[in-house]
Every structure is written in structure tokens, then in C-alpha cells.
Amino acid sequence: MISRLFDLVSRRIDGPLMVALVLLVSLGLTVVYSASGGGSFDRILGQARNLAVALAALWVVANIPPQTLMRLAVPAYAIGLALLVGVALFGEVRNGARRWLNLGFTTIQPSEVMKIAVPLLLAWYFQRHQEGLRLREYAVATVLLALPVALILRQPDLGTATLIFASGFFVIFLAGLSWKVIATLAAAGLASLPFLWGMLHDYQRRRVLTLLDPTQDPLGAGYHIIQSTIAIGSGGVLGKGWLNGTQAQLDFVPERSTDFILAVYGEEFGLAGVVVLLVLYLLVIARGLMIAANASTTFARLTAGAITLTFFTYAFVNMGMVSGILPVVGVPLPMISYGGTALLSMLVGFGILMSISTHKQLVSS
């Protein structure tokens, strides 16, 4: 009875991936506790609730066969796009950005839906056109990707747009877009940088400029980067110890439990902690790529590969920004930062990975 229940729960769970994820979220709760000042469990309980919901979603998604997921791709994308248009027309403005849609009973951020819907849709598209992929197919895929990215950029939300663009780009890349085209596009992209610069919002430009020289604006935009690098640097090799980071505990690190939580972690656990974190991330990525490599359909392969690489992008962009080598964009540290939405979309992504990893025998037979 118990073993049957265990089987029911764990049948669609990928063991190695799950172990790495559990280690990451445990680490995350530990750091969130410290980042919320210690001594209060409010944040921890909140994050635990987020985690419970996200894990439940992971389990549900993992139990949905990839074929079903593929059928959901188009409606999910269509709904997501419609909601994004809704945001553009009726969205709520908070902190100068129009990202939220009030549905009456709750407020949602439709861009989050797209984090899953975009790779699913593109993978579905390439699966359908797997016989003879020509430039035309890649062009269509690019348009399908560009629509939501453009809408999200307009909100504006550079961080989410970057991640969604990355997720879509990974699908197209993995689908075999020729290197020549990639090289051409990259060159064109570089050439259009000045033009893009003109399109950026003032605060986005400032973030880029601040990255180049944070000391130019030490009390304004540069403050985040200066304080987070001080926190990390002062942590040294072994860190100041859990709950003992002065930069973190005395409020010098801004947004310390969300986007800048790595500064708290780096200060309190030092280089040793950072290495542990990088290793855990690498384990997740390696397992994800392995699942992708062994997946049995084009859709499954592309989806698994894109989700894994998007996860990598999350980690890289956040760690790069907090340590001062990338501009500040609103990207949380995956599995660690406080917050439910990002966690949910990420674990739903891993649910899909697990579905792919555990359903492949059925499909191939």
C-alpha cells in the first residue's frame, strides 16, 4: 500500500534531477531566512508555501505525457499572447512598468506564462515541420518568438524579455539553424546596437552605463552593484558565517532577499558557498541536457534542451549581474531568491523535463 503510494508519487519524478533541485531549494530557504534579517519565520513560511505549490505543479506536469503537453503548446501560447496584448491595453502600472493584468479575483503577470509557452510552441512548430527545415521555417519561428518578446520589452521588462528570447533562441538553435545564419544575425545584431541603444529606456541605459562604471553614480543606480560587490568580496573564501554578513544584515545590500540574494549568500558563505552553488547548478544543467539528448521526439528534445539552457541563462545572468559583470536586469537567482512566480514557472519547466525523461519508453515502444 505504502509502496504503491510511493510509486504513484515518484513514478514520473527524475531522481537525480529531483535530488539536485531539493538541495538547491533547501539552500535557498536557508539564505532567504538570513536575508530576511533572521529571527523571523514569516518569509520562510511564505517561501515554503510557494515551494509547496510549485512542487505540486511540478508533480502534476511531470505526470502529463509529452504528447499532451505538445497539444497544449498552441493554446498556451495563444492565451499568453492574448493576455500580453491585454496588458498592453489595460495593464496595471506598478513602479513605472505595465506588467500586471487584473483579472478581478487575482493579478497575474502574463509574461510568466510565456516562459513555458514560448519554448513549447517553438518545439511544437519544429516537430510539425521536421521534414525538410528550410530558412522559411526558421523565419516563422523567429516571428513567433519576436511577438511576445516585443510586447514584454514594451512593458518594459528587460529581464523577462531576455529570458524569453533566450528560451526561444535555444529552441531555434538546437533545431539546427545554420551557423552561417547565426553568424550573419550576430553581425547584424552588433551593427544594430547603436539603434537598439536609442530604443532603450533611460533607466535601462543607466543600468548598462552603471555596469561599465558603477562609481559614476554611487548613490543612485550604481549603489546596488557597489554594495553587492562589497558584500561578496568581503565574504572571502569561507564567508562571514550564516546570519553574520554585515552588508546583508545591516541593509546595505538592496533587494537582498530577491534579485540580490547572491550577495547575501556570497558574503555569508564565501567562495566555498559560491562553488557549491555553481556545482549544484551544473548538476541540474548536466542532467537536463542528458534528458534532452535521450529524448525520443523532436518536440521533447527541443523542449528539454531549451528549458535546461534557459535555467542556465537565469543563473548566469543573475550571478553575472550581482557580481558586477552584467547589467542589472530583474532576474532572480533560480531556486534561491524569494518569490513564488519565478519558482513556479521554473518548477513547471522541470516538471516538463521529468515528464520527458520518464515517458520516453512508452513513446518509443
Partner 1 sequence: MTAGHALRDQRRELNVFRTRLTVAGLAALAAFGVLLARFVWLQVAQREHYHTLAEANRISVVPVVPNRGIIRDRNGEVLAANYSAYTLEVTPSKAGNLERAIDALAQVIEVAPRDRRRFKRLMEESKNFESLPIRTRLTEEEVARFAVNRYRFPGFEIKARLFRSYPHGEVASHAIGYIGRINEADLRRIEADKAAANYKGTDHIGKLGIEGAYEKELHGITGSEQVEIDAGGRAIRSLSRSEPQSGNNLVVTLDINLQRVAEEAFQDYRGAMVALDPKTGDVLALVSKPGFDPNLFVDGIDPQNWDALNNSPDKPLNNRALRGQYPPGSTIKPFMALAALTTGKRTPEYTISDPGHWMLPGVSRPFRDWKKGGHGMVNLHRSIVVSCDTYYYGLANDLGVDTIHRFMTPFGFGAKTGLDIDGELPGLQPSSDWKWQRYKQKWYAGDTISVGIGQGYWLATPMQLAMAVATLANGGTPVRPRLVRAVQDARTQDVRELPVRAGDPLDFKAEHLALVKAAMIDVTRPGGTAMRAAQGAPYLVAGKTGTAQVVGMKAGEKYDESRVKEQHRDHALFIAYAPADDPKIALALLVENGGHGGSTAAPIAREVFDFHLLGKRPPGRQKLGDEEGEGD
Which of 209, 316, 340, 360 touches partner 1 (CB under 8 A)? 316
Residue 77 vs 299, nearer CB to partner 1:
299
Cβ pair 122, 147 in contact under 8 A: no
77: burial class by Cβ within 10 Å (0-12, 13-18, 19+)?
buried
CB of 132 to partner 1, least distance (A): 8
Assigned C-alpha cell, 148: 511576445
CB proximity list for 243: less than 8 A, separation 6 or greater: 34, 38, 249, 268
Q: 270 or 334: whose CB is closer to partner 1?
A: 270
Residue closer to partner 1 by CB (options 19, 285) is: 285
Q: Does 119 bind partner 1 (CB under 8 A)?
A: no
Minimum gap (Å) between residue 156 Cβ and partner 1: 25
Backbone angles phi, psi at 11, to 5 degrees: -55, -40
* Given 7, 131, 134, 215, the residue binding partner 1 (CB under 8 A): 131
* Interaction between residue 174 and partner 1 (CB under 8 A): yes
Q: Which has the closest alpha carbon to 117: 359, 290, 348, 354? A: 348
* Residue 85 CB, nearest approach to partner 1 (Å): 32
Which C-beta is closer to partner 1: that of 123 or that of 161? 123
- 117 Cβ contact list (under 8 Å, min separation 6): 73, 76, 77, 79, 80
Q: How far is the CB of 343 from partner 1 (least distance, A)?
A: 21
Nearest distance, CB of residue 262 and partner 1, angstroms: 10
Site string for partner 1, 219-258 (x = CB under 8 A): --------x-xxxxxxxxx--------xx--xxx------
Say whether residue 142 binds partner 1 (CB under 8 A). no
CB of 230 to partner 1, least distance (A): 5
Least distance from partner 1 to the Cβ atom of residue 220, Å: 15
Residue 353 sits in the site that holds partner 1 (CB under 8 A): no
Q: Is there binding between residue 183 and partner 1 (CB under 8 A)?
A: no
| Residues in touch with partner 1 (CB under 8 A) | 130-131, 170, 173-176, 227, 229-237, 246-247, 250-252, 266, 270-271, 274-275, 278, 281-282, 285-286, 289, 292-293, 298, 301-302, 305, 309, 312, 316, 319-320, 323-325
